[in-house]
Amino acid sequence: MTDPSDHADAPLVQLLTPDGRRTTSPGYIYDGTLADIQDLYRDLVMTRRLDTEAFALQRHGELGLWPPALGQEAAQVGSARALRPQDFAFPTYRDHGVVWCRGEDPVHLLGIFRGSSLGGWDPADHHVALPNIIIGSQTLHATGYAMALTLDGLVGTGNPERDAASIAYLGDGATSQGDFNEALDWAAVHQAPVVFFCQNNHYAISVPLERQTRVPIAQRADGFGLPGVRVDGNDVLACHAVVTAALQRARDGQGPTLVEAVTYRMGAHTTSDDPTRYREAAEVEAWKAKDPVERVRLHLVAEGVPDEWFRSVEDEADALGVRLREACQDIPEPDLAELFDHVFVESTVENEQQKAEYVAWRDSFEGSVA
Amino acid sequence: MSELTKMTMVKALNSGLRASMEHDPKVIVMGEDVGRLGGVFRVTEGLQKDFGEGRVMDTPLAESAILGTAIGMTFRGFRPVVEIQFDGFVYPAYDQIVSQVARLHFRSRGSVRMPIVIRIPYGGGIGAVEHHSDSPEAQFAMTAGLKVVSCADPHDAHWMIQQAIASDDPVVFMEPKRRYWETGMVDTAETTLPLLASRVVRPGRDATLVAYGPMVKTCLDSAAAAAEEGVDIEVIDLRTLSPLDLGPVFESVRRTGRAVVVHEAARTLGLGAEVSARITEECFYALEAPVQRVTGYDMPYPPSRVEDEFLPGLDRILDAVDRARAY
pLDDT tens string B222-250: 999 999 999 999 999 999 999 999 999 99
Mean pLDDT of A169-192: 98
User: Is residue B194 domain-resident?
Assistant: no
- Looking at the structure, do residues A225 and A367 belong to the same domain, yes or no? no
- Three-class secondary structure assignment of chain A: CCCHHHCCCCCCECCECCCCCECCECCECCCCCHHHHHHHHHHHHHHHHHHHHHHHHHHCCCCCCCCCCCCCHHHHHHHHCCCCCCCEEECECCCHHHHHHHCCCCHHHHHHHHCCCCCCCCHHHHCECCCECCCCHHHHHHHHHHHHHHHCCCCCCCCCCCCCCEEEEEECHHHHCHHHHHHHHHHHHHCCCEEEEEEECCEECCEEHHHCCCCCHHHHHHHHCCCEEEEECCCHHHHHHHHHHHHHHHHCCCCCEEEEEECCCCCCCCCCCCHHHCCCHHHHHHHHCCCCCHHHHHHHHHCCCCHHHHHHHHHHHHHHHHHHHHHHHHCCCCCHHHHHHHCCCCCCHHHHHHHHHHHHHHHCCCCCCC
The percentage of chain A sitting over the pLDDT mark of 90, rounded to a whole number, equals: 95
Residue B211, φ and ψ in degrees, nearest 5: -150, 180
Mean pLDDT of B255-284: 98
User: Sorting pLDDT into bands at 50, 70 and 90, what band is B37?
Assistant: very high
Strands B183-187 vs B4-8: parallel, antiparallel or unpaired: antiparallel
pLDDT tens string A216-251: 999 999 999 999 999 999 999 999 999 999 999 999
Identify the domain containing residue B252 by its residue range.
199-326
A283 vs A2, residue with greater confidence: A283
Radius of gyration of chain A, Cα coordinates, nearest whole angstrom? 22
Which of B187, B213, B237 terminates a domain? The answer is: B187
Which of B157, B187, B217 terminates a domain? The answer is: B187
- Looking at the structure, do residues A340 and A206 belong to the same domain, yes or no? no
Comparing CB atoms, the residue among B68, B76, B106 nearest residue A140 is B68
C-alpha distance from residue B126 to each of B131, B132, B157, B161 (Å)? 12, 9, 19, 23
Measured over the CA atoms of residue A214, residue A217, residue A222 and residue A225, the dihedral's sign is positive
Tell me what the pLDDT averaged over chain A comes to.
96
User: Is residue B257 domain-resident?
Assistant: yes
**Neighbouring C-alpha atoms within 13 Å toward the C-beta of A240:** 26
pLDDT tens string A67-102: 999 999 999 999 999 999 999 999 999 999 999 999
Identify the domain containing residue A341 by its residue range.
335-370
User: Sorting pLDDT into bands at 50, 70 and 90, what band is A142?
Assistant: very high
- Looking at the structure, do residues A25 and A150 belong to the same domain, yes or no? yes
Mind telling me how many Å the CA of B251 is from chain A's nearest CA?
A: 17
Q: What is the number of other CB atoms lying within 10 angstroms of the CB of residue A289?
A: 10
Mind telling me how many Å the CA of B153 is from chain A's nearest CA?
A: 24
Q: Would an 8 Å CB–CB cutoff place A332 in contact with chain B?
A: no
Whether A33 shows a pLDDT value over 80: the answer reads: yes
pTM: 0.96
Buried b or exposed e, range A250-279, using 16+ CB within 10 angstroms: bbeebbbbbbbbbbbbbbbbbbebebeeee
Smallest CA-to-CA distance from A213 within A228, A200, A194 is with A200
List, as ranges, residues 24-43 from A with C-beta within 8 Å of B.
none
- Looking at the structure, do residues B16 and B65 belong to the same domain, yes or no? yes
- Looking at the structure, do residues B216 and B161 belong to the same domain, yes or no? no
Torsion over CA of B32, B38, B42 and B45, rounded to 10 degrees? 150
**How far is C-alpha B59 from the geometric centre of its chain's CA atoms?**
24
Q: What is the pLDDT of residue B313?
A: 98
User: Is residue B86 domain-resident?
Assistant: yes
CA angle B193, B196, B202 (to 5 degrees): 55
Smallest CA-to-CA distance from B30 within B110, B91, B118 is with B118
User: Sorting pLDDT into bands at 50, 70 and 90, what band is A370?
Assistant: low
Return the amino acid letter for B148.
V
Whether A288 shows a pLDDT value over 70: the answer reads: yes
- Let me know: does B90 contact B174? Beta carbons within 8 Å: no
Residues 6+ apart with CB under 8 A from A304: none
- Looking at the structure, do residues B152 and B76 belong to the same domain, yes or no? yes
- Looking at the structure, do residues B158 and B293 belong to the same domain, yes or no? no
Q: What is the pLDDT of residue A2?
A: 39
Q: What is the pLDDT of residue A4?
A: 47
- Looking at the structure, do residues A272 and A348 belong to the same domain, yes or no? no
- Looking at the structure, do residues A159 and A294 belong to the same domain, yes or no? yes
Mean pLDDT of B286-297: 98
What is the Cα–Cα distance from A88 to B86, expressed in whole angstroms? 33
Measured over the CA atoms of residue A166, residue A172, residue A174 and residue A180, the dihedral's sign is positive
Smallest CA-to-CA distance from A236 within A73, A359, A19 is with A73
Q: What is the number of other CB atoms lying within 10 angstroms of the CB of residue B226?
A: 21
Q: What is the pLDDT of residue A369?
A: 58
* Catalytic-role residue among A220, A265, A295, A299: A265
**How far is C-alpha B180 from the geometric centre of its chain's CA atoms?**
12
- Looking at the structure, do residues A204 and A352 belong to the same domain, yes or no? no
Q: Considering its fold, how many domains does chain A have in total?
A: 2
Number of inter-chain CB pairs under 8 A, A vs B: 142
What is the Cα–Cα distance from A226 to A255, expressed in whole angstroms? 8
* Catalytic-role residue among A269, A297, A358, A362: A269
For residue B144, the chain A residues in CB contact (below 8 A) are 343
- Looking at the structure, do residues A285 and A369 belong to the same domain, yes or no? no
- Looking at the structure, do residues B49 and B138 belong to the same domain, yes or no? yes
* Catalytic-role residue among A21, A211, A278, A362: A278
- Looking at the structure, do residues A110 and A166 belong to the same domain, yes or no? yes
- Looking at the structure, do residues B153 and B241 belong to the same domain, yes or no? no
- Looking at the structure, do residues B71 and B125 belong to the same domain, yes or no? yes
C-alpha distance from residue A261 to each of A150, A198, A288, B81 (Å)? 27, 6, 17, 36
Peptide bond just before B243 cis, omega within 30 deg? yes
Q: What CATH number did the domain enclosing B309 receive?
A: 3.40.50.920
- Looking at the structure, do residues B68 and B101 belong to the same domain, yes or no? yes
Which of B164, B187, B210 terminates a domain? The answer is: B187
Q: What is the pLDDT of residue A3?
A: 45
- Let me know: does B39 contact B33? Beta carbons within 8 Å: yes
Q: Considering its fold, how many domains does chain B have in total?
A: 2
- Let me know: does A167 contact A194? Beta carbons within 8 Å: yes
- Looking at the structure, do residues A342 and A238 belong to the same domain, yes or no? no
For residue B168, the chain A residues in CB contact (below 8 A) are 345-346
- Looking at the structure, do residues A352 and A211 belong to the same domain, yes or no? no
- Looking at the structure, do residues A256 and A305 belong to the same domain, yes or no? yes
Whether A1 shows a pLDDT value over 70: the answer reads: no
- Let me know: does B16 contact B162? Beta carbons within 8 Å: yes
Instruction: Determine whether the interchain pair B105/A142 forms a contact, defined as Cβ–Cβ distance below 8 Å.
Output: no
Smallest CA-to-CA distance from B29 within B7, B14, B8 is with B14
- Let me know: does B250 contact B291? Beta carbons within 8 Å: no
- Looking at the structure, do residues B228 and B128 belong to the same domain, yes or no? no
- Looking at the structure, do residues B183 and B70 belong to the same domain, yes or no? yes
Instruction: Determine whether the interchain pair A141/B68 forms a contact, defined as Cβ–Cβ distance below 8 Å.
Output: yes
pLDDT tens string B170-192: 999 999 999 999 999 999 999 99
What is the Cα–Cα distance from B275 to B280, expressed in whole angstroms? 9
Q: What is the pLDDT of residue A6?
A: 67
- Let me know: does A86 contact A351? Beta carbons within 8 Å: no
Q: What CATH number did the domain enclosing B129 receive?
A: 3.40.50.970
Q: What CATH number did the domain enclosing A130 receive?
A: 3.40.50.970
- Looking at the structure, do residues B213 and B274 belong to the same domain, yes or no? yes
The percentage of chain B sitting over the pLDDT mark of 70, rounded to a whole number, equals: 100
List, as ranges, residues 170-229 from B with C-beta within 8 Å of A.
196
Instruction: Determine whether the interchain pair A345/B54 forms a contact, defined as Cβ–Cβ distance below 8 Å.
Output: no
Q: Is A265 an active-site residue?
A: yes
C-alpha distance from residue B109 to each of B101, B140, B171, B179, B210 (Å)? 14, 21, 19, 39, 36
Q: What is the pLDDT of residue B2?
A: 83
What is the Cα–Cα distance from B72 to B151, expressed in whole angstroms? 28
Q: What is the number of other CB atoms lying within 10 angstroms of the CB of residue A334?
A: 16
- Looking at the structure, do residues A275 and A229 belong to the same domain, yes or no? yes
pLDDT tens string B131-167: 999 999 999 999 999 999 999 999 999 999 999 999 9
What is the Cα–Cα distance from B181 to B6, expressed in whole angstroms? 12
C-alpha distance from residue B139 to each of A121, B90, B98, B312 (Å)? 30, 11, 9, 20
- Looking at the structure, do residues B149 and B278 belong to the same domain, yes or no? no
